[in-house]
Amino acid sequence: MQTPLELIGFGRDMERSPANAAFPRRRGMLLDMVVANENEYDSERFPGNFYQGMILKLDRARGRGVVRSHSGKEIPFEFPFVAVVGAPIGGTMPGIDLIREGDIVGFDVGWTSRGLRITTIQPHAAAS
């Protein structure tokens, strides 16, 4: 019976492979990458799996705004294409009453045809 590592190509015969002679660490490379990715998460920098930023501009009439991240990048958002954590479902701009200019918020981003946009906002009060 094969072990899970042998099923993905890390078998006993791999040590005799010419590719492994040139790259001796190749056998454990997959495991090293898995462990490295688990250790990359920093709960202080990204509480609740959200980036941290401040709402720089908020136009309630149009349902648009801009968040400035800690790195200084300004990322736009627009209702109804953004979800506010803790907001009731329904309405034209659900959750816009939970955020204000100057609030520290958590946010998540996604790529659109217009570039990088905010997809989710977590108000600081809803973070606890």
Which CATH superfamily is 47-127 part of?
Nucleic acid-binding proteins (2.40.50.140)
Q: 69 versus 34: which is more confidently predicted?
A: 69
Query: Domain map of the chain by residue range?
Result: 4-39, 47-127
Q: What is the pTM of this model?
A: 0.61
Q: Are 107 and 122 in contact (CB under 8 A)?
A: yes
Evaluated on CA atoms 94, 97, 99, 100, the torsion sign reads positive
- Sequence-separated (6 or more) residues with CB below 8 Å from residue 122: 48, 50, 84, 85, 86, 105, 106, 107
pLDDT(17) > 80:
no
Tell me the per-residue pLDDT of 70-92, one tens digit each, with 9 for 90 and over. 889 999 999 989 999 988 888 88
- What tokens does 108 get? 């998540």
